[in-house]
Amino acid sequence: MTVQTLFQSTLMLNEEDKKQSFWVQDEVHLAHALTPLFASFMVPAVTEGTKLAFENLKMPLLQFRFKVADGRIYQDTVPYPGDPLQRLEEHKGTVGPILPVLKKMLQDYVDGEFLTYYRQLDEYRNQTLTLNEAKDKVQELHDFYRRAWQLHFEIVMPRSAFFVLEQLYGQLTGETHTTVIYDMLSGVMNKSLETDRELWRLADLANQSADTKAAFAGPADVGYKAALEQSEGGRVLLEHLQTVLETYGYRSSNSHEFNDETWVENPEHALRIIAAYTQKSYDFDREFAETVQEREARTREALAKMPEGELKQTFIRMYQWALDSWGLDEDHHFYIDAMLPAKSRLFLLKVGELLVEQGAFSDKEDICYLYLDELLEALSAPTPLHGTVEQRKIEHEANKQKQVAPFYGVPPEQPMNPVLERIFGGKPPEIQEKEQTFTGYAASQGTYTGTVRVVRNPEDFAKVQQGDVLVCKTTTPPWTVLFSIVGAIVTDAGGILSHAGTVAREYKLPAVVGSKVATSVLKDGDRVTVDGTKGVVHFGQF
């Protein structure tokens, strides 16, 4: 094992950290094992970025701290050290004016900072960089990462104010099942849905030609691009796909990583999804229009139950602001969580090529197995790093196979912040062996009985068949492509506002999330009934 440098030690969760704080493994956003280079960027970016963002928003939290253990991210939520009630009032005063303009705020950041910097990264890739120039650009990227995650949290955290909609709904209607408010926020177009819509349109195009249908009938492991290139219809489809990927292809299977191939690098990622879509009849535009109509009908019914008055007007105003900005959850991921690592990867591979030329290692992808300080040192004075890289690859593969601790330290006595619980989940597992049931959060209403398909990573996407029950640890936007195929969703991690819960409501799929146990209790081929209204999964024989 290599000796840790000072920089590397700042990334790692040590025994003293475990004694002093409560660290929870982030299964919702970062369930996978990270490479050294990505950890070098992500840990400081979130730790420092949240501190800046939370101060700007006057949050009643000081920051989120990230550390790495066994390749996984653990998060410590640091409370604000001052008077929490006074700070909460300051926060309300700061966030209030932001709520009506959240959508514009994101777009301004996207246009003014993110897309501008991404164009710079593209330019760097097309230049012949010296070692010193590459070093400066890598440091610049590291600095931008912190800025990006500061803006990330300045964009997403104000939306927690919309939690008050649940309280207002309960006060105005007398109902206790207040989470139905989130059904009134479905049918809002966002970048994940846009991506899925484009893939369905390409599937429809493929089904119009016998040649393209035949090309997609082949085995997925062989690939579809070569077969499509053999016909005029296939070449036309590939041209359309290239146009789609120029907008929607800056993504990878895990989003938060540098060593995952992006869609723009290899169209087979998108082609495998299109191939699956050609086997199913699904009208995306019609289904989305129906979701909008159902949302509007539910909203009219809810408003009709509310007595007139100032409280109802407050609800309506907050609801309209929430509806206008509800797409931010997927849109910020598209531009920040997914596109930033994708654009960064393409630039870093260029730097990797430079170091291959200098004899530092054998493959440009090996750059992912260096920590930032090692990379900067290599760009200052290149030396052979083959041994270091090979050892890191072994460690990374071992980390991927580890069953890691869900947390370190002593859990706090006070209950979890209800807003954070809506996103991250956190309820303890509840299994009833006699009844053959387990519970989670009721994230999307309805009941569905089907065959389990356990998906542990995007490499398993191909085994999902129409009507399967998707069982997984968590989902992120790249997983959205499965939602129009499956019949229900069950996850280990997350709350009702996690990606799985939010997107399940868009696709009208019963969903139980945050069960803690789904992937360990269930296996491929099991028959289950998912009750997304009650938050119960029945796993007995049917």
By DSSP bridging, strand 23-25 and strand 72-79 are: antiparallel
The DSSP letter of residue 206 is: H
Per-residue model confidence (pLDDT) at position 416: 67
pLDDT at 282 over 90: no
List the CATH code of the domain at 418-538.
3.50.30.10
| Mean predicted confidence (pLDDT) in 344-371 | 98
Return the amino acid letter for 453.
Answer: R
C-alpha–C-alpha distance, residues 466 and 363, integer Å:
39
Q: Which helix (H) or strand (E) holds 310?
A: helix 310-325
Q: Place 220 in a pLDDT band, splitting at 50, 70 and 90.
A: confident
Q: What percent of the chain has pLDDT over 90?
A: 80
pLDDT at 340 over 90: yes
pLDDT at 541 over 90: no
| Mean predicted confidence (pLDDT) in 6-19 | 96
What mean pLDDT is reported for the chain? 93
pLDDT digits (tens, 9 = 90+) for 384-405: 999 999 999 999 999 999 989 8
pLDDT at 426 over 80: no
Per-residue model confidence (pLDDT) at position 179: 87
pLDDT digits (tens, 9 = 90+) for 105-134: 999 999 999 999 999 999 999 999 999 999
Q: Place 168 in a pLDDT band, splitting at 50, 70 and 90.
A: very high
C-alpha–C-alpha distance, residues 73 and 4, integer Å:
18
The alpha carbon dihedral of 474, 346, 265, 384 has a sign of negative
pLDDT at 297 over 90: yes
Question: Three-class SS string for 123-185?
Answer: HHHCCCCCHHHHHHHHHHHHHHHHHHHHHHHHHHHHHHHHHHHHHHHHHHHCCCCHHHHHHHH
Residue spans of the domains in the chain: they are 6-155+332-407, 418-538
By DSSP bridging, strand 72-79 and strand 61-69 are: antiparallel
The answer for residues whose C-beta is within 8 angstroms of residue 230's C-beta and 6 or more apart is: 211, 215
Widest distance between CA atoms in the chain: 74
Q: Of 428 and 133, which is predicted with more confidence? A: 133
Per-residue model confidence (pLDDT) at position 477: 83
SS3 220: coil
Per-residue model confidence (pLDDT) at position 422: 77
C-alpha–C-alpha distance, residues 55 and 148, integer Å:
16
Place of tokens 């387990």: 438
Per-residue model confidence (pLDDT) at position 429: 84
C-alpha–C-alpha distance, residues 40 and 257, integer Å:
11
Per-residue model confidence (pLDDT) at position 2: 62
| Mean predicted confidence (pLDDT) in 44-57 | 98
| Mean predicted confidence (pLDDT) in 32-43 | 97
C-alpha–C-alpha distance, residues 441 and 536, integer Å:
8
The answer for residues whose C-beta is within 8 angstroms of residue 345's C-beta and 6 or more apart is: 252, 258, 259, 260, 262
The answer for residues whose C-beta is within 8 angstroms of residue 122's C-beta and 6 or more apart is: 343, 346
Catalytic residue set: 499
Q: Which two tokens stand for residue 144?
A: 């931008």
Q: Which helix (H) or strand (E) holds 402?
A: none
φ, ψ (nearest 5 deg) of residue 472: -155, 170
pLDDT digits (tens, 9 = 90+) for 490-540: 999 888 888 899 899 999 999 999 999 999 999 999 999 999 999 999 997
Q: In what order do the strands lie in the sheet with 407-408?
A: 61-69, 72-79, 23-25, 407-408
C-alpha–C-alpha distance, residues 303 and 509, integer Å:
25
Select the highest-mean-pLDDT range: 31-35, 148-152, 411-415, 477-481: 148-152
The answer for residues whose C-beta is within 8 angstroms of residue 303's C-beta and 6 or more apart is: 312, 316
Q: Residue length, the chain? A: 542
